[in-house]
Structures are given as C-alpha cells and as structure tokens.
Structure 1
Amino acid sequence: MGWESSEGPVPMTKDRLITWRVSELREWGIEPSCFMNYNKTQCTVNLPVTIYKTPDSVSISTVNHNGPMMEGNQYELQCDVLNVAPVQYLTVNWYKGQTLVDQTIFTDTIKTPVSKTSKLLIRPDRADDGAQYWCEAKLELEEEGPQPPPTAPSEHLSITVYFGPIINEAKLPSIVSVFRGYPLVIVCEAEGNPKPTISWSVNSTDIVYSETLTITESTPEDLLCIANNSVGSTTRRVKVSIQDSDCPVQLNPQRVVVKFGGPVSVDCSTYVSHKGMGWESSEGPVPMTTDRLITWRVSELREWGIEPSCFINHNKSQCTVNLPVTIYKTPDSVSISTVNHNGPMMEGNQYELQCDVLNVAPVQYLTVNWYKGQTLVNQTIFTDTIKTPVNKTSKLLIRPDRADDGAQYWCEAKLELGEEGPRPPPTNTSEHLNITVYYEPKINHCQDWSPTTGTSLNSYPNSYSLVGNPHPDISWKRESSLSQLNASILLNTYDSDQYEIIASNEHGYSTCIINITVEYPPKLNCSEGYEVKEKTPFQPPCVANGLPKPDVSFYKNGKLIELPYNPKWNDSGLYQLTASNKHGTVNSAFVLTILYAPVFHASQDKFVVAEDSNITLECNSSGNPEPKMSWSFENKTISTGRRRITLNIKKATSTSAGVYTCSAMNQFGHHEKNFEVEIRGNPPNYIPIITVVALVVALLVIIITLLICLWIKKKSTGSYQIQPVNQYEMRPLNNGGKC
C-alpha cells in the first residue's frame, strides 16, 4: 500500500499503517489517495482536502460617493475581500455598530484564492449621523475547520449624514413678554448638519446673525428666527409683547436649573435708588439691604417646590420678581423588560417592551429614547407638570423577524432641561435586552450533490445554508422509496437517486429536492485470461463502471492499443488494462489467447525424383485450437496427425507420382495444401561409346601426326653454309634434313 499525491507521495510498503505528511501544503487542487494491492487488483481511497486561506485584506468603502451623505438618499457600501479561499465557505457579515444588518453568502466552487465583493444599500437618516459601518469576512469551514471560524474585519467607516435644520421650539416660545425698561435675551437654537446658521429678521431690512437676540420695548412686534444650512432652511415666528413693569429689578440668571442637593446662586440687581431689597425664600432667604446687588445662595438645594423671589422697596411701595427654579433628579434606575412574555419570540408576532424609569424629576423634561443596537427606533415625551420625583414607563411594540435574532434593545432616559440645564443633558441607560427570535427553517441553497462512495448524507455541503431557530432537525427521504433514512449511513454505488431534505423545528419545516449522484472510482474484475477469435473486435469485459465514467487504456508490452481491438492470429500474449477517473486508477493484467483457423507454414511442395528414391513430405501448420491434420492421395486418407505431419515414401516408383494433399482443420476452418511428386526412369549408358569414339579420335591424331612429320623430313634434307648473322641469311647447305 502507498500514497499517490502531487505533494508528499509515499512509496509502497507492506506495513499496515502508512502516513501521508506534508510540512507546507501549497497545491490548491491536491487530491491525495491511498492505494492498496489486494485480491490481485489495486483499490484506491481518495482523501478530501480543503485548503483555506484567510483574506489578505478586508476593506469597506462607499460606491461612487465621497463625503457626507444626505438624509433620505440611498447609498451603496462595498466590502472588498482580497485573496480568500475557498470562497464557497465565505460569509461576509455587515454591521452598523454592533448590530448585524446583512449577510452575503457565496456558492462558487473554485478552490484557489479569489477576490470577492459584497454590497450593502443604506438610506441614512439624522439618527445615523456618526454611525460606524464595518464588514467582516468569516470562513465557516465546518466541523473539521478551526473553531472559532477564522474572521477578518474591516476598519470602521464613520458616516456623516447631512440633514436640514430643526428649530428647538421648546426653547423659543411663539410669544415673548418684555417688561418695559428690562431688556430680555431670547435664544434660537437649531439642530442640523452642517451646523445651521442662525439669523433674526427684525424687520424687512435688518438681519441679525446670532443665536441670541436682545429685545427691548423698541423691538418690533414680529420677529423671525431663520435657521439655514446647505441642505435647507426653516423659520420660527416670535411675537413680542411689551408690558409695563412697576418693579425695577433684574435677575441674573432669570431662570435656574439645579440638581437636587446641588448649589445655586442668583443675583438680583437694580438701577434705581431704593429703600431696601432682599430675597424671600423657604431656603436661603437674604435679609434686606440697601445695596444695588443682592445674591441668593443655597449650598444644597433640597426643596422641590421652592419659589424664591427678589423684592425691592421703591416709590413708597414694594414690588417682587419671582425666580423660576427647576430642580431635577436623574433616575435611580432605568430598566428594560418584555411585557407578559418570557423566552424566545416568534417571527412575525407582536411583542411589547417596557422601559421603567424610577424616581426622576421633573418628568415634563423627560424623554425616553428606544434603541435597537445603535439605531434610534422610537421616543416617548412626557407632559406631566409635577415637580417631585415620579416613576415613568415607556412601551415599545415590536414585530421581530429572523434578522432580529440576537438583536439588542435598550432604552435611555434623558432630561432635556433647556438652555440653563447641564450640557450634555443628563442621561441614564438600561442594560441591553438580547432577544431570541424563533422562526421556521429555510434551506437557502438547494443544489444537486455528487459525493463519493463512503460519504454520509450528513456531509451534504450546503448544510451551512440551513437556517432556523431553534436549529432545525434534518431528515432525509429517498424519492424512490419514500422511507426515512439514517443520515449517518454511508452511501454506496447504488444510492444515486432523487432525495428530499426535510428541515423542521417546532415552528415549521422546509423541504428541498435534490439529485444525488454517488461517484466512485473504477473497479476491474478481470480473469486471468480470455480467448477471442482473430479479427473479431475485442472489448475487455471486466471494467466495472465508475462515476464519472472512467477512461480505459489497453496496453501490450507497454504500447497503447486502441479499443475495440481486432487481434491477428499471432497476437496472443500478456495484456494490461487501466481504468481511471478523478477518484482513482486501477490496473489489471491478463493473458489474451487468439483463436484462429489453421495456417500452413512454408515448406517444399514439389519433388522430382528417380525411381527407387526415398521421399519425405513435411506439412507444418498452426491454429488455435490445435488443428487435426491428414495426408490424402488419390482421394484416400493415408495418414493423420497434429500440427506437424510427415509422409515418408520409400523406393518411389512410377505409381508414387502424383499430387499429395495435406489437410488441417479445427473449429474455425479447414485448409489444404498440395504437394507434387514426379518420378523419372534410369538414363542410357554412354561411357563405352564415348570410349570408342575417343580411341578412334586418338588414333587418327597419331596417324595424321606421323604423316606430317614424314612430309617435313623429306622437305628438309640437304647441306647449308652458316654465315654471321649480321651479314648473311641462313640458307640450307644441302637438301638433307632430320625430323
């Protein structure tokens, strides 16, 4: 057994345990498999490997927009997640403050790192000014992945929301009374973004650019406060009422706001001569004095209904000016709760939340603000005029949906005590109330699935898209049988079918129909050998189909052979078959035996011999099965045998001449081969004749030779004189001569 892998392959071993190990895995599409040679075949089991990579960066930005946003307009935010893998496990969560406002799930199956973008549409209002949006990339890598899942947040995007001015009408009454001889400062405040510019229209031509305006008895009867910014403008009309006053004193400040038990100090002054002035009060009265300035002072003011007044003796009479005093107390506690309900809430039902504010005063300045997360969702204002501490309750109706599961509601008690009050206004907040919303299941991604054998239904990869609260129970049904299945049982090659997923909880159910195609590696069940007739197409019968359909390769002596294969009579031998798909490869070797009709091999087939000669006729053939052979002569069988058959003819005679037929036959054919034999008689004896002829010829030659010699002797007989060669010719001296 061993491991096949593009990284860290392990050579084959006979041990019973073998470990695949890679110190730094860097191949995204790696598909390691463990193989084992078993029962004369090789089987393979693939290891599913998920390689993940957290993003290089997660960033948030606005799309096609820079700068502040306008209240009521729609804007698009974008979250860019760079180089993350695998994207099918990526979820992008959108937050406003700490409140989850949206999610984006990706279903791409690409394994290598990619960059992804999620977008969020928002329509901000003035309560969103300064809100912080951010996004978070989370890799939900299932049970085998790291816990908690890897997350990467973006920076926070603080948005600025521009909105038109709103004048604070509570601080600017529509009618203002001014005592003659006593100037009065009135204030126009407005909320807006950008900060509004405040101006006063005193008459048709005079414009005063200031939040404050000092009015006197000469001030026109009608005033107009104008609040303006780049978004818009608004106005408030103020009517001035001039009244005569017989009490020439002025208080500074003209109204005080004091925390219960806190110190207070107010000056009373006059610009006329008098016979005495002082303060009357149930706490901290000031004896009469002839000074022109006298101060009322209390170190710890604790009387709720106190009504101090400054008096002056003037023109033989006494006049008095009262000081408005507001004593406030912040709540002992602010708490939030549900009304007539405990535990989780049902999606779509209506529920009532209650905010209890204990011992707060004065209640006419109390505002209770309701928040979901960081978003202001409602306000309650009270108009009671009681000055002493009271308990107040504010209620909020909500109809939660599944997006509200885990939402945090809280309330805030705020005392808006006017210009003279503390800045910022005193606030007390409740704890956060986390709500749990129960809702029926929903399967967001219902997609067909192609698992491998040995995979359980519990491994369905889109289980992460299943939502419901409480968490749904999952059951499976096979459409062909409609029986409920055990989801932990491992799928086999016969389990491809249409299945129904049922997600259910106590509040409902959701179903999903998917096609499951069970994929598996190829299998070979080859025998040790096969037989096939020559020139007949051969397709290996031992490939058990895998899924996906395997690629089949056929080899002989390492050479690839195209299928179907039409073997020749001499192609018997050892062959190898290989079947492979993405789940594995198997090999098997077997012997292929070719069946064929008899074939004659070359041999001498014509004989010419003399009588009495010995002749051997050899007939050699092959075939599969081995052929039966026979010799026949003149239509009579004279000999039989197998494969190679020999016919011996001894001392051939003229009757041995003729055509001999060799026959070879098996179940695939019958062939014949003819052998021709020719017999010739003994040749005549020419040796004596030749001898006689030779003797006669020799005798004639001798006779002729003798006659020539005699003739020559007769002609050369005589005497000759010999001279020097250079002077004389040779001449005969006589007529004699000798042969």
Structure 2
Amino acid sequence: MRTCHSLLALFTVILAYQVQSQDLMEVKALSSHLFVPYGEDVWVNCSTTFANETVYKSRLKKNETQRGPNWLAVKVHVDDWENSTLYCILDKGNNQHILSPTIVMAYALPSNVTIDLPTKLEEETQYKISCKVYDVAPLEYLTINITRGEDVIDSKSFEGPHVANKTTASHIYYYTAGRSDNSMNFSCEAILQLGPLTKTVKSSNITVQTYSLQEKPIITVQKWIENGTSVTAKCSVANGFPPEDVDLNMLIGDTKVDVNTVQKGGGTVEGTAQLNITYIKLGRKDLTCESHLFTLSTRNAMDVFIYELPTVSFALSRDIVDLEENVTAECNVTNNPETYDPDPETSDPDAETYGLFISVDGKEEKMEQGSMITHTFTASRRTRSLDIMCTAYMIANKNISNSSTQTLEVQYPPEFSESLCPSTFVFVEGKKKIFSCDASGNPTPTVECNADGNSINGVAVRTRDMSGIYTCQAKNQKGIVVKIVTVTAEYAPMSPTVTISTNVTIRTGNSLNITCHSDGFPAPMYSWRIPNDAEVTYSPDKSSMIIHTAARTHNGTYTCVTKNVHGQSEAMQEVTIVSDIINIAVIVCSVVGLLVSLVIVFLVCHYFWKKNRKGVYNLLGIERRQSPQKGKIKSESSVNKTSSV
C-alpha cells in the first residue's frame, strides 16, 4: 500500500506540473499506449483540471479508481487480446467533453523458442534452419533472428494484421555449411519490440560439427605380389575433415584386412595394412579401400596379381667343346599353369602363362611362349667359358622371371695379342721392369721367349745389353703359335764428345767447325751455351756449329748440352782466337823452342854416348903434365891406373 500511495503522490506532482505548464489542456492521458502482460492489472492515469468531473471509460474491468487534485487513475484488468482504448473524459457541461485516449495492448512472451538444425553438417551442403516461437502475442511486434555465434545471419519481422490471441510463429532459412562453421553455436531468438521495451527470448544453442570427405582414397601397393609373401598396402585420404573421425577399411577379394590408421599433415589420413598372401588359386584380385565419415563414404579399388615364381629346369648337351662346335640347350618351366584363374582381361582363355628365352654369353638368341624351349648354337668365341642362361617369365609381366645358368667350357689353340704380348717392349736402363708375354688359349698355353739361347719371359730387364729381337712361342694341346718381340732399352745421354775442325787456337778471320755427339735413347736433343756476342750457325739438329769468320768475340768456352726424357749431360770446349802478329811470334817462339829442344836432345845423346865408351887408357902422361917435375916419383900402382869409358 505504501508503494501505491507513493506512486499516486508522484503522479499528482507530475499531473500538477503538466496542468500548470499547459494551460490550454484540461485533460491528458499519461500514456498513449500501454503494453501489458495478458491477465495482469495495470494503472492508467490522466491529468485533469477538474478531477471530480473526470472519469475513465473502458470495456476492460475496472478494479479500482483514485483521484487527486488534478489527476485521475484507474486500475484495469487486461483479459482481452483485442486492443482496448481507455478514455479519460472531462465533462465540461452542456454536453461538452474532453477526451484523452490510452490504448492498452495485451502481450505474451513466448512459452518456448526452438531451433531445428542437424549437429553434423557436410561442408558445401545446404541445410534448412527452422525456428519456432510458441504462444507469442502480439505477432505484429515479433522479430525472429537466427544467430551464428555472435552474428545474426538471418532475420524476419512480422507485420499485421493484428492477431487477437497467442500464436506460434516460425521462420525457415537455408544455409550452406563451410569449414569455418565447425564448433559454432547456432540459435534462434524471439524479440518483442513493445514500444520502448524490448523483450527477448532465446532458444538453446546447437553446436555444429562440419565434415568433409570429397576425395577418393589412394591405394599404394605393389601390383604384382608373390604368393606366400607378406606385403604392405597403404590407403590414404586427403582433406578429410575432421580427420580424427575418418575411418578406413581395406579388403583383398572378399577378405577384410586389419588397418592401422594414422593422421598425417594437411588433413590426410593414412591406413596401413599387412597383406599375408596365401592363395590356392592365383591370378588377378581386387584390392579395395573404403573411407567413412559420418554419413559420407568414398571407395577406390585396384587390381593386384598374385603369382608364383617360375621354376626352371635347364641342361646342355655337352659341358666341354672345341671352338666352332655345336651345343644344344633344353629348358622347361615346371610350374602348373592351371593354378591361375582365367584372366577376365584376356580374351583368349588358352593363352600361355609363361614364356622362355635362351641367352648365350649375355645375348638373347631364342624366345618362345610356352613351358619348353630348345636351342642349338655354335661356340664361336675365343673365351674360356660361355654362360648359357635360360630365363622363364610371365607373359603378363616380363619383370616376373627366374633364370638358370649353365657354364660351357670352350677349348681353342693359343693366340698372341698386343694386350697380352706387345710387339715392342721398352724399358729404362737402370730401372727394374719385368718382361711379360702371354697368350690366350684354353687350356692355358705355356709361353717361352728366347734370343741367342737366352730366355727372357718373366725376367727383370735392367741393362741395354738385354735389348734385341726375341722369338716367343705359345703352346697348348690345341696348337702352337710364334711371335717376334723387339726389346728396346732407353737411357739418358752419355757424356758428349766435342770435336773441332782445327786447333783450339785459331787466327782471326779463319773458320771453325765444332761438333758434339752423345749416345742416348731416345735420341738426345742438343743445345749450346756459347760466349756472349758470338755469332755462329747451327746445324738443323744443333749437334754442330760453324764459326765462319773468327773474331775476338768468339774467344771463350763452348758447352754442349744433350738431353732426353731420362736425363741430360754436357761437355765443354775452350776456343782461343789470336791476331796475325801474335801468330808470327808464336811461330818464331815455336821454331826457337824446337831448335833448343834439338840442342838439348843432342847434348843428352852425346853425354850418353860418351858415358858408354869402354877400354884402358894411360893417364900418366896427363898426370905428369899436370904435376910439377919436382917431388917424389909416384908408385907403380899409380902409373898403371886404368879407366874405363
């Protein structure tokens, strides 16, 4: 009650203020429109200058009326869905009235708001979003929004005519799902815009999960699988979303195999299966991979071929033959071709399963389809052994094959070749080198190389005296062959010999020829070191030079240098050039020297001639002539002294 009295006092103040501020208005409703929940009471107020002459008229039931000095209030019960107009009427007398209306409208908030949308949405697929608003009124003030997260993706506002009761409204919106919608909340909301009031009722949220499976699986496995083996097969699906919900199944024929699934980068899911192949009937089989994601599925298949490796039986008519003899090879496949199911891709049901070919020394010589082949060939190559191979293969896939090899020994007479026994053998003197000469042949031939009774094969040669022409002979049970081999020694140049055409001392103006020779192999090359400014003319190989007109500039040392790949050597020669005066003096001195020499020779000869004279001489007379006549007479022994000359 206190609240009501407070409100009435407040209305009194407001109405008094309005009456005073609007002298021309004698009565006025406080609100032109009122929205009231259906079944509830509401106070309707108006201001008036004469409260006692003012009344409210309405078809709604009035439960209570109150008046103030300048206002009138009435509480009415809203139980009509039709809009009701309440009139505040001031009776001025003389049938004159002043009216101020207030329209009262009943409303009802929705009893429920629902949204209908699948929780799992396939990407790039359109879905219907259905919103329903139950027991709402009035409909013309209703707006239905469809929200995605915080965003309104669609909206519908209802218009008249006025529906005089509660009603259920609905709205349908078609939406295309995308990857960005994953884990988003979708909802519907009902909004009643009641004048300045906004009433909102929302549905519960639906959290959606988007998914996509647009690509077929990719199968990775070897197409040809040997029976009795185990191989790994892989199946991968790209861009599946969400990848953790992608399921992979694999089958070979009608048999399901276990698949281990892992997630790869970029939304790829890969499944791995181990195929243990054990079949009684061989041939083409279907390998299938299926991917499943919620309501979606994709499938892919490929053919694999189950085979067994061909078993080969192979034999030769002879194991050892002479050169140019014939041999027959026979080869068979022992597998049973009936273990294979007929291939639906082959039009001929009697088509051969296997093929065979025979190779001689790596060269294919004969090929046939079927399980048996024979081939006769000639052993025409000089080789100690020939590999004869038979290969069995599957006609549908030549890479599936098996081989058997037999070795044929070929015998033939000896033969020399440059690679085994060169016609020329060169060694460097002083360096050890083994002389080697071999010959091809089967059986292995013996080889001997001789010159003047000396054997050289397998001997280390060092000196040039081992050079010469050798006869090499190769021999085995199939024949004998001979070859001539020249053995040559190479060595560095020997010390050169320098000769001149005249004396080492020549007069100016004369000519002089200087020649150099050195022994070496390969033949040495010649070069000279001569005095500066000396003009000479060389021979083409520079082994000699000519001084055409001797001059003092030719005086000096002339050095001959010889060189080849193994070394070099050199020798010097002094040359003296003199003028004509010096030549005369030299001649005079030479003549004088000759005469002096002759005198000396004469004196020496005379001395020895004199010394070699023999006999007895009486030297007494001489002594007497040499001794004074006085004194003692010498003894007889002295007188009889002899001298031998």
What is the TM-score normalised by the length of structure 2? 0.36
Higher helix share: 2
Larger Rg computed on CA atoms: 2
